[in-house]
Structure 1
Amino acid sequence: MIFSRHNRDRGTAFSLTAQSSPSLVLAPTVRPSQRDHSSLQQERSRDSRSALDEAFVVQHVPVHKEDRSRSTEAKLITNAMQRTQRWLYDRQLADGHWRGSLEGDTILESEYVIILAWAGKLAAPEVKGAAQRILQEQLPSGGWAIYPGGPVDCSASVKAYLALKLTGHAQDSEPLNRARLAIARAGGPWSVNSFTRFYLALLGQMPYSACPAVPPEMVLLPSWFPINLHRVSAWSRTMIVPLSLIWAFKPVRKVLKAEGIGELFATPEWLQAPQITAENGIWTKFFRVVDRVVKMSDAIGFQPLRSRAVAECRRWMLQRFEGSDGLGAIFPPIVWSIVALRAMGCDDESAEVQECWRQLAGLVEVESDGSVRVEPCRSPVWDTAITLRSLCDAGRAVKSSGTDRCLATEVASVTDLDQTVDWLLDREVRTSGDWARRTDAIPSGWCFEYANRFYPDVDDTAMVLIALSTWQQSVAGLAAQGTSAGLGRVARVHAAISRATPWLEALQNSDGGWGAFDRDNNCEILCKVPFADHNAMIDPSSPDLAGRVLEAFGKIGLRLGHASVDRACDYLRLNQEADGSWFGRWGINFIYGTWQAIEGLRSVGVPANDPAIVAAVEWLVSRQQSDGGWGESPASYSDPAMSGRGTPTASQTAWAVAAFIAADRHDSRPAQRGVQWLVERQCVDGAWEENEFTGTGFPKVFYLRYHYYPIYFPLMALARFLTAEALAAAGRSRKEQVA
């Protein structure tokens, strides 16, 4: 396999080919990185990094005459890995953790401007920057999409239009002229979703009667009632409670006519796209009747339980502020909490409102060009766990490949990662949260954000277990060479794994899979309520989560024959698509789900020649693109023909390569071409260019770009490939010796 360097935008310091310096490991000059402005003061000093820096000098590596091509290949991959390792270590924060930026579409900036307008804070310096970003993301057609390359989304476009009007853009300006036409063609303002309707109602642009009723009395429904607050998903729960208070008080702040969007409602009907025919199933009709009854009751003032319900909603909401980065630690409920508290009479000086504003400010990022990007939440636990496992994988790979630098690199990595392990251990959530209503397990899990004590989740907990287990294996390898790794830390890791494993088992659903936050949160009739158009009212099992948990179980030694493992394997077999792929709920989409399912099944002992694994690998082969990479667009959530198809990306190519390695197909041509794709497209600073959204918030509604995905996932894939190659070579050597 011969790699040739692509000249990328970031520049290439040298040619990376099998012919150039075949016995040298080259250390490129790394340009100064563009760092997270909020983290600059926390980054560790370069002066304290001498041990790691020494690992990146130019060194001679012996080339074995009997296998020169494989040795050269290993060196090229090692070079790529070490550049990425350095990239990551340069961005490690002072206390040992990592946090990459998390990017959504412009609905975040639009909603940020709208909430500031409602609160009378349009003079805030961030407002112009938010409007700048909104303009930057406008499509040539005039509208706004919810992911790069996507079609015009009416709700996102209406909110963007309003935000621009609020920030002084004239109705007859060129961007807004184009936007009006795009909005009309997308269905017009009456076709926007529920969340958008509430934002419009806050500023008097749409009556509250046009919003779905969200009565606060819902919080009083008992747990035995078929429909109650805790039957909806955790994220919907945190939005419904403050929204119900907004529904109860219906706060409005009128804006000037020049700042409003009245002209959108005056668009001739012939310009507007036909409305999508609403579903007319029995439960849909039932909830429409309920919606009308609630609105009629409010209109005539028949609200016998309203005061009690409002008090309970307030108590519920404030309780979940404790130990959290805001309600649910995500943008929407933080914003709704501000409005709800203000509607109930709290002013901006109250401690509760001040805390909400502080948490919201923590999600605002000012870019180098002055534009403002609002994050949906922060992802430190997730980023840190994946970075830890990837760096440990890299340490093992370099050691396995037999290069001179293996010991120095791994010692430096594990020494630096001790603090990372401590940081993760300190974030274990050991108090009960909403999940405890469905199971009586002893609390032990991890959340996605810095603090979210009521909502640890299955995915992060499983990923942390994988990372800690991988670190344990690295420590064991060093201990065998006489390197002390801290017995106390090892004991803490073992104890945390022992606590979290039964917690994960307890949250397993009746169908054998896992949801994200709760056990058996799968009441499908709730998806028929008028408010459910955000496509996430429930939290059912998904194949990617089942695969992740199985991988974690495999890491700690659980195998086929264990009850929880067997049920999860059965779930995956039952939910494999006819073409061999698996659906991905939290990553895009079938590439992500297929990788996780293969990884999980193989980790617990399912053989590589199992029909499910073989079919999945064949599907991945069928989706490899002509350049050797893999890519998939969010469009695959709506269009089955787009399954596994889209612009190739580093993160999705890494997932596919990792799947091949897990399936014992590292030596296959598709896997090797995938590795070649990654090595050739690496930038000189060790990163990969990736502007596509490969993470999923709510399918069909909200997608994510994790800025570290094209960093640690390719590192993980390359490291595993190098390890697999080294182990295969060792096996060949043993056979030759026996012969």
Structure 2
Amino acid sequence: MSKNSKTPLASPLGSTDLTRWHLLPVPDEDQAVWTYDSSSERTLGDQSFQSKYWLSRHPKSPALPDPEGSPLQAAKNGFEFYKKLQMPDGHWSGEFSGPLFLTPGMVIACYITKTPLAEEIRIELVRRLANDQRQGQNARDRGWGLHAAGKSTVFGTVLNYVACRLLGVDVEQPLMVRARATLHALGGATGLPTWGKVWLALLGVYDWEGVNPVPPELWLLPEMIPLHPWRWWVHSRQVYLPISYLCGKRFRAASDPTLDSLREELYTQPYDSINWPSCRNLIAKEDLYSPRHPIANGLFWILGYWEKICPSPIRNMGLNRAHELCKMEDENTDFNDLAPVNKMLNLIVCWDRYGPESKEFQKHQLKLKNFLWMNKDGMGVSATNGSQLWDLGFITQALVESGLAKTDDPSTQDSVIRSLQWIDRCQMLENPKHFRSAYRHQTKGAWPFSTKSQSYTVSDCTAEALKSVLCLQEELSYTPKLISKERLCLALDVILSLQNPNGGFASYELVRGPSWLEYLSPAEIFGKTMIEVNYPECTTACLTAMSLFSRYYPDYRGPEISRARQGAISFIRSVQRDDGSWYGSWGVCFTYATMFALESLSLNNETYKNSPSVKKACRFLLDRQMDDGGWGESFKSCEQGVYIHHQSSQVFNTAWAVLALLAAKYPEPEPIKRGCRLIISRQTADGQWPDGAIEGVFNKTTSVTYPHYKFAWSIHALGKAHKQFPDVKW
């Protein structure tokens, strides 16, 4: 749900009836999408509880038994409420948002390709953009940031301003006037980072001469060369693939009065007077997180020269190769693509190559709805087509490990069984249509982050799903055995295939490129984007999955699993910081990674009692426990690389810290009791927890919301604390 607690603003384009929005399952896609019932008869009927909850208009539920300080009862109450949010097909739908450059990407792509957006969608997109705009008196901070928790940047302000204008907001609307003043105070659109320059160049409101070239001929290089894009991190690879095609063609939308006006609105000097080549390396200080290395500037100079001399036959070969790979990506993912940035760019490529009447382009259009999410503040584009598998893995493990799943309650059993059925359907049992040719890692046996059709293997998602299946099928008497040993072994094979030589695990693939490729990164607004990186979070997930698998199937690849486990533990030890912590790359931040790392070390029988590393990690956490007993970590920790307290304790940070201390077998219950009391104190009488601060992050600088974390991790921490300290008076 939105992290914005103020009263939502209205849309300048009008309003929709919130009672007509419905979150509905999509047959055969294992996800749900928002649909507006515009019929006078209200053919979709009454809103579901799930729809009302995400729109913040759900009725107050009956009060549940007072936990009276009991963590077990509080965990039960939490799941009693949480069950109501489960979709009929077994998964939990939810918002996965935060980056403020996603909605503009869709709006720009739809504008260029003349893809119509329904009036109710346009209204709600603008309403969300208005609610995401920064408020206050600082003239330099009344635009939009890189993400929902960030201050105004040129990138965020330009793209969201453009999106509003393309959706029909008048240039003199107050939110446009405020944003334009901020943009001009920040120096105008010439200070955009590379991604922003590309989006404006596609619209024809920025000249391609002001963009550092990304030639499609890079895809023609021999694959043995370290610079070849197949060695890049998958998100960078799949974003720069369509950019290379569009940049190579100097693609530009047809001009119209709105675009002509934008050329005047976005700059602090007349458009025709701008020296575009001098803008290539101009990045506003508000946007610059990773200054470009001189080596990268040298490479871009070479590529700029190449643009002037590239023979047409070579350029056509490069364009054809880039398009071929875009086509493979579309077909491999059923036109969902890896994520919305490359999805929207691929949409433009498909339109340019095949035309608006082609079946390929129409398939692309149909999938746009999978990325739209509605909340009380309006509609926006999600960071993927959801986080369904990821969220489901955590709640199912929490239920089993807390003991809540071991029950005779029919509604809980039904919820658990439907969860298992959804995980069963989500496992990928074949490699993609275009496997090696599209530079993909194997998918046979893996699970994705979101849905099966999205089709990308993710190391920790596969691991968490494997653990969930083992917990649900092996430790509960009432669940059907849906996933065979053969399929579990396939998942284990995927995990083993993803371990890197240093023992660590990255996210989607093996580390393919040398570390010096980071010097060439053109993504000035992010950190660590060029190659895969080993993460303590991913490594722990894979280590714990291998350990649990071996408990039930000790004869399958036993020696290899043993070696892999030892390598993973060695990696975890090697990346511990001197202060005892681990840096988290996917959650906020040190509490998140330290929880995972201590879980890893516990599997090697390393505890507070016998391990200096574990003792140091516990001390790190205990030194940061707040006066109210909780933990609260700011998103700024991710950006700055040091622990920074949030202004208040957070339920999810507290749950992570409690689970970390429990994994370490910290002998004194008092800090754990205080943490549990904080979690219980934030719970409402009907069992839910209100929204808190931002939970997630990627690439060091961009926040993402995980609204299910406050349920899954709180239930897990409370239930596990009760199991570990059954005789403690809470």
CA RMSD of aligned residues (A): 3.5
Give me the whole-angstrom Cα distance separating, in 2, the residues matched to 1:539 and 1:694.
22
Contact 2:590–2:643 (Cα < 8 Å) also in 1: no
Give me the whole-angstrom Cα distance separating, in 1, the residues matched to 2:690 and 2:176.
31
Bigger shift: residues 460-469 or 664-673: 664-673
Other-structure match for 1:284: 296
**Cα 1:503–1:59, aligned 2, differ >3 Å: closer, same or farther?**
closer
Contact 1:162–1:261 (Cα < 8 Å) also in 2: no
Bigger shift: residues 556-565 or 160-169: 556-565
Other-structure match for 2:183: 183
More helix by share: 1
Structure 2 segments unaligned to the other structure (5+ residues): 6-18, 26-31, 35-43, 50-60, 136-140, 275-283, 552-557
Give me the whole-angstrom Cα distance separating, in 2, the residues matched to 1:78 and 1:116.
50
Other-structure match for 2:9: none
Other-structure match for 1:83: 77
Shift of 1:98: 2.2
Letter in 1 for 2:113: A
Contact 1:553–1:604 (Cα < 8 Å) also in 2: no
Partner residue of 1:376 out of 378, 383, 399: 383
Between Structure 1 and Structure 2, whose CA radius of gyration is higher? 1
Aligned-partner SS, 2:296 = helix
Partner residue of 2:132 out of 132, 137, 144: 137
Shift of 1:273: 6.2
Other-structure match for 2:508: 517
Aligned-partner SS, 1:321 = helix
Give me the whole-angstrom Cα distance separating, in 2, the residues matched to 1:156 and 1:679.
37
Shift of 1:628: 1.9
Other-structure match for 1:474: 475
Shift of 1:582: 0.5
Give me the whole-angstrom Cα distance separating, in 2, the residues matched to 1:247 and 1:160.
22
Give me the whole-angstrom Cα distance separating, in 2, the residues matched to 1:385 and 1:200.
39
**In the TM superposition, what whole-angstrom CA distance separates every residue of 1:90-141 from its partner, at most 9, and x where no partner exists?**
2222222222221223322222322232233466422232121111111123
Bigger shift: residues 650-659 or 325-334: 325-334
**Cα 1:234–1:583, aligned 2, differ >3 Å: closer, same or farther?**
same
Shift of 1:275: 9.2
Give me the whole-angstrom Cα distance separating, in 2, the residues matched to 1:613 and 1:386.
24
Other-structure match for 1:447: 448
Give me the whole-angstrom Cα distance separating, in 2, the residues matched to 1:353 and 1:440.
26
Contact 2:443–2:456 (Cα < 8 Å) also in 1: no
**In the TM superposition, what whole-angstrom CA distance separates every residue of 1:586-620 from its partner, at most 9, and x where no partner exists?**
11211111111111221343333311111111111
**Cα 1:58–1:319, aligned 2, differ >3 Å: closer, same or farther?**
closer
**Cα 1:35–1:80, aligned 2, differ >3 Å: closer, same or farther?**
farther
Partner residue of 1:502 out of 476, 493, 496: 493
Shift of 1:348: 2.0
**Cα 1:373–1:720, aligned 2, differ >3 Å: closer, same or farther?**
same
Bigger shift: residues 533-542 or 505-514: 533-542
**In the TM superposition, what whole-angstrom CA distance separates every residue of 1:237-257 from its partner, at most 9, and x where no partner exists?**
221221111112222222425
**Cα 1:531–1:73, aligned 2, differ >3 Å: closer, same or farther?**
same
Bigger shift: residues 462-471 or 285-294: 285-294
**In the TM superposition, what whole-angstrom CA distance separates every residue of 1:297-352 from its partner, at most 9, and x where no partner exists?**
35xxx2332222322222222223235253534111110011111222x2222111
Letter in 2 for 1:132: R
Letter in 1 for 2:144: W
Shift of 1:393: 2.8
Counterpart mapping for 1:307-706 below 5 A: 307-326=316-335, 328-344=337-353, 346-367=354-375, 371-377=378-384, 378-394=386-402, 396=403, 407-409=407-409, 412-432=411-431, 443-452=444-453, 455-475=456-476, 478=477, 485-486=479-480, 488-489=481-482, 492-529=483-520, 531-533=522-524, 534-535=526-527, 536-557=529-550, 562-609=562-609, 610-643=611-644, 645=646, 647-665=648-666, 667-700=668-701, 702-706=702-706
**Cα 1:317–1:418, aligned 2, differ >3 Å: closer, same or farther?**
same
Other-structure match for 2:315: 306
**In the TM superposition, what whole-angstrom CA distance separates every residue of 1:254-300 from its partner, at most 9, and x where no partner exists?**
2425741533321699xx869969957553243223332233235xx
Give me the whole-angstrom Cα distance separating, in 2, the residues matched to 1:244 and 1:45.
44
Contact 1:331–1:375 (Cα < 8 Å) also in 2: yes
Other-structure match for 1:707: 707
Contact 1:550–1:601 (Cα < 8 Å) also in 2: no
**In the TM superposition, what whole-angstrom CA distance separates every residue of 1:471-496 from its partner, at most 9, and x where no partner exists?**
23432xx4xxxxx544x43xx35433
**In the TM superposition, what whole-angstrom CA distance separates every residue of 1:391-431 from its partner, at most 9, and x where no partner exists?**
2234x1586xxxxxxx424x653454223223212322233
Partner residue of 2:265 out of 250, 263, 266: 263
Bigger shift: residues 712-721 or 597-606: 597-606
Give me the whole-angstrom Cα distance separating, in 2, the residues matched to 1:719 and 1:285.
54
Shift of 1:42: 13
**Cα 1:419–1:547, aligned 2, differ >3 Å: closer, same or farther?**
same
Aligned-partner SS, 1:373 = strand
**Cα 1:278–1:518, aligned 2, differ >3 Å: closer, same or farther?**
closer
Shift of 1:548: 1.8
**Cα 1:427–1:169, aligned 2, differ >3 Å: closer, same or farther?**
closer
**Cα 1:171–1:261, aligned 2, differ >3 Å: closer, same or farther?**
farther
Contact 1:544–1:583 (Cα < 8 Å) also in 2: no
Other-structure match for 2:122: 127
Shift of 1:206: 0.8
Other-structure match for 1:113: 107
Give me the whole-angstrom Cα distance separating, in 1, the residues matched to 2:206 and 2:443.
47
Give me the whole-angstrom Cα distance separating, in 2, the residues matched to 1:45 and 1:189.
44
Aligned-partner SS, 1:648 = strand
Contact 1:342–1:353 (Cα < 8 Å) also in 2: yes
**Cα 1:332–1:58, aligned 2, differ >3 Å: closer, same or farther?**
closer
Shift of 1:35: 7.9
Shift of 1:692: 2.3
Give me the whole-angstrom Cα distance separating, in 1, the residues matched to 2:191 and 2:332.
38
Task: Provide the TM-score with structure 1 as the length reference.
Answer: 0.80
Contact 1:591–1:620 (Cα < 8 Å) also in 2: yes
Other-structure match for 1:159: 159
Contact 2:334–2:454 (Cα < 8 Å) also in 1: no
Give me the whole-angstrom Cα distance separating, in 1, the residues matched to 2:287 and 2:365.
38
Give me the whole-angstrom Cα distance separating, in 2, the residues matched to 1:290 and 1:685.
63
Bigger shift: residues 187-196 or 711-720: 187-196
**Cα 1:466–1:176, aligned 2, differ >3 Å: closer, same or farther?**
same
Letter in 2 for 1:518: E
Counterpart mapping for 1:45-124 below 5 A: 73-74=69-70, 77-121=71-115, 124=118
**In the TM superposition, what whole-angstrom CA distance separates every residue of 1:196-228 from its partner, at most 9, and x where no partner exists?**
111111222211122232222222222211211
**Share of identical aligned residues, percent?**
21
Give me the whole-angstrom Cα distance separating, in 1, the residues matched to 2:152 and 2:199.
19
Letter in 2 for 1:709: Y
Shift of 1:697: 2.9
Task: Provide the TM-score with structure 2 as the length reference.
Answer: 0.81
Give me the whole-angstrom Cα distance separating, in 2, the residues matched to 1:694 and 1:58.
27
Aligned-partner SS, 1:96 = coil
Shift of 1:572: 1.4
Contact 1:35–1:91 (Cα < 8 Å) also in 2: no
Structure 1 segments unaligned to the other structure (5+ residues): 1-8, 10-31, 47-55, 62-70, 400-406, 479-483, 731-739
**In the TM superposition, what whole-angstrom CA distance separates every residue of 1:183-207 from its partner, at most 9, and x where no partner exists?**
3444532222222111111222211
Letter in 2 for 1:336: L
